Amino acid sequence: MSELYEGIVFRSPEAVAREAFSGLRSPHRLRLVRLHGAETFGVYRVAGRSDAFDEEGVLGLAADVSQLAGGPSVAAFYDNSSGVRSATVFRSGALAGKFAEADERWVPTGADGYPLPGVESVPAGDRDPEAEYECARDAIELALAAAGIAAEVTGEVLKDAFVYDRAVVVAEARPT
């Protein structure tokens, strides 16, 4: 089954997160969820599997969140069927960094399929075409780290929240 999402991750006190969320304007139905601990939140578009990404719209919302919530935000895009893993960091409404496949870190695996112990990860472009690799840090995780967002917020946490609706819903907004 394909898994895809487009969402925004940020840290703030809940009252600030709620206020920032209420200030967002979108033609899409949005949901604010708690991702980890008391102060890490996600905003995502509630969409069907056949809905195309609204990259421009989500990037605009992420820029707004970074201003309204007063801290960095990460716009994340994921689609396992097409290999999309990308993320953009915003600070104070401005672009602060972009992360894509070329930025990801990979570690070689042994014959058993597990990462080799004690071996440093390499950038995607430095992989040996004759070797097998596993992604050690994907573009989304790199962007979250660059934004200083809790290490506990992983790609799996985002999938659980944004794809499978397994996060505490804090608020919802209808299209405006």
Residue 47, in any domain of the structure = yes
Q: What is the mean pLDDT of residues 150-158?
A: 87
pLDDT in tens, 30-59: 999 999 888 999 999 988 767 778 899 999
Q: What is the mean pLDDT of residues 73-102?
A: 92
**Which residue range(s) make up the domain with 159?**
4-99+139-173
pLDDT score recorded for residue 103: 92
pLDDT averaged over every residue in the chain: 92
Residue 18, in any domain of the structure = yes
Q: Which amino acid is at 9?
A: V
Indicate the number of domains in the chain: 1
Could you report how far apart the first and last alpha carbons of the chain are, in Å? 31
pLDDT in tens, 99-130: 998 899 999 999 999 999 999 999 988 999 99
DSSP string over 75-91: EEEEETTTTEEEEEEEE
